[in-house]
Structure formats: C-alpha cells, structure tokens
Homo-oligomer: A and B are copies of this chain.
Amino acid sequence: MTVGTAGDPVDRSRTVGAVGERRLIVELTRAATADDPSTTADAHDIVIGSGDDAAVIDTAGPAVISTDTAVQGRHFRLDWSDARTVGARAVVQSAADIAAMGGRTTGIVVSIACPSDTTVGTVLDLNAGIVAAAHGLGGRVLGGDLVDADQVVLTVTTLGALDGAEPIVVGGARPGDVLAVTGNMLGASAAGLALLIDAERRGDVELLRRHARLVDAHLLPAPDLGQGPIAARAGAHAMTDISDGLVEELITMAAASGTRLAITSDRIPVGDEIRSAAAALDTDLRDWTVAGGEDHELLAAFPPHAVPSGWTRIGEVLEGTGVLVDGRPAGGLRGWQSFGG
C-alpha cells in the first residue's frame, strides 16, 4: 500500500492513467476515512487505518479472514450495474463468508485493478460503494491497492471477529439437526440474472421493470449477515453462505459433515415475485431456488429447538451421505443440473 500527498479534489471525468495511482489513492483514502464510524463507536477495533504500509486492527480474539474476487464481464457488468453497486456487491460477497463462520465484519482491505482509461469517477464510485457496504456491516475500509489491468478486477478481503463464539464450520452437521436458511426471497439473484439476460436477448425491458426487486437482488444481494453471529450464539452446528446455489452448498455440507441432507423445495422461502418471473420466463422455479446462487443468504444446521427467529426450516440432517431434494438424490458437482435432467 502506498501513501499519497493531499491536494485539490480530483476531476471525476479524467482517467486513472492521467491522474496517476498515487493521487487517486489520496482520494480513496480520504473517502474511506471521512465518514468512518470508528470515530464514534468501536474505535478500539482500528489502531491504524488507511494511509500507512499496512493497517493494524485489534480483533480482541481470533480473526476470521476471507478473500473474494469479482471480475468485470464475469461477475458484473458496468452496463447493468453502476460502479457503486459493483463495489458494494464485492463487499457483501466477501463478508458473507465471515458471517458464515459466525463472525462479525470488522474491517476490509480492497484491491482495485482497472484499465488506465477508466474514469476517476468510476473508481471513486467503486470505492464509495465499498466504503458504504463496509460501514453498513459495521466494518471499516482498512486500506487497499490500486493497479493497472486490462479489465476491472475487485478483490475484497474481509476480517471479522467472533466475539468469544466458536467458529461454525461447514462440516459440523449432525443427524437429527434441522436445516434452515435466512432470507425470504431465495433464488432472487438467479431470477434477476435470468431477467437481465432475457431483456437483453429480446430487447424488451418490461419484465425487468415488473420484477425490479429481483434485478436489484442480483445486482446487490442484501442478506442479513447479522444472522451469522446470531446462529453461532444459538448453537448452530454447521453453516455456510449460499454463493454457488443451495444444492451445491448442501452437497458440500453433506460431504464435509459425513451426513445426508434432505430438503423440501416447497419450504424454501421464495415470495410471489419469483413465482411470477418463473411463470413469465417459463422456468422451473427450482432452477433458481435450488440451483441458483449468489444470494449469499445463510444455510445452517441447528439442533431441533435452536433455530433462531429469522430463519426458515427447509429440511433435516440424516444418517448417510448425499443430498435429497424432494426425496430425490441430487448428485455430482453440478447437482441440480443432473438432478433436473
């Protein structure tokens, strides 16, 4: 990380290449620290923030750490999302992994790689989204890196605290446990993506407009990540976030736990908007709710009487191996596809 020299506010319409990395890092640091909640609450978490070789943070106990990368054209499109949303999404995606261990996000570091002809405004907006999302989770932006690349690549590394709780691993499910998920619109991200693709293919945005909440859920998932620490305190045995699709996460949890997991797809909290979109696009709802990913809601195995409010029971942990969806085995790494085929 690099320290820059302060100066005049920078022109948003200029390019990163013209303004230079050092100058821009000054602006990013200013934005990250200007509205930093550490000046009021929990200031003891942060010892040194942006602006030195490295940041120092006191997590007062074991630190949880995870890193996630979002690549332009693969994970996001700047013609579908504004840069602020892209930045915020990258934080949510990384912080969900912290929540999935039962952790509370305390700080993030971010690497922004972008072409030198990217406008300063785009980088400032990416950063603003990152900062806002970190603050929204109760964390801070601790520092970062800014480099030249052929496409925008955002890497967010999130640190979290366990506040005395034991970390919840994915492999701790026990026969007799109940499976539950957070959220009330599982599959919304996959539905939103399908709507965006459909609108682009047909050149008709009417369906998009009618299902704006699903599109929004794809562009910026908003899982209640505070449920991670709540689940840990409630005694969850296993937990993960739903990034690759529910069935993929179930397969991972079953294999890691040495158990069989059975869910009933009707119990998955969905909502009318997804049903309406599935009908409009003539899609099997389960393609989104069971196979679709990137909602970043949490999936956990709890002792039967320990499921906290805010969670929906969708199944059980059994003796055996593998995953059952509505009584039928879901197999392989591409579980839903082979299940559906």
Q: Which residue numbers of A lie inside 8 Å of B, CB to CB?
A: 1-3, 5, 20, 22-23, 47-48, 52-59, 61-71, 73-75, 96-98, 100-101, 103, 107, 109-111, 113, 142-145, 147-151, 153, 155, 157-160, 162, 167, 169-171, 239-241, 243-244, 251-252, 255-256, 333
Contacts and interface: CB of A to CB of B under 8 A. Distances in A.
Contact of A68 (B1, B48, B58, B153): B1
B74 A149 contact: yes
B47 A55 contact: no
Nearest to A45: B62
7 contacts: A2-B252, A54-B101, A57-B62, A65-B109, A65-B142, A65-B157, A149-B153
A67 B2 contact: no
A63 to B, nearest CB: 5
Contacts of A240: 53
A57 B63 contact: yes
A1 B97 contact: yes
Nearest to A101: B54
Given A48-B169, A147-B74, A153-B149, A57 B68 contact: no
Nearest to A22: B333
Contacts of A110: 67
Nearest 5 CB-CB pairings of A with B: A54-B66, A53-B100, A155-B155, A157-B157, A67-B109
A162 B58 CA distance: 11
A3 B97 CA distance: 12
B101 A143 contact: no
Contacts of A103: 54
A89 to B, nearest CB: 14
B157 A109 contact: yes
Given A150-B151, A256-B3, A63 B159 contact: yes
Contacts of A148: 71, 74
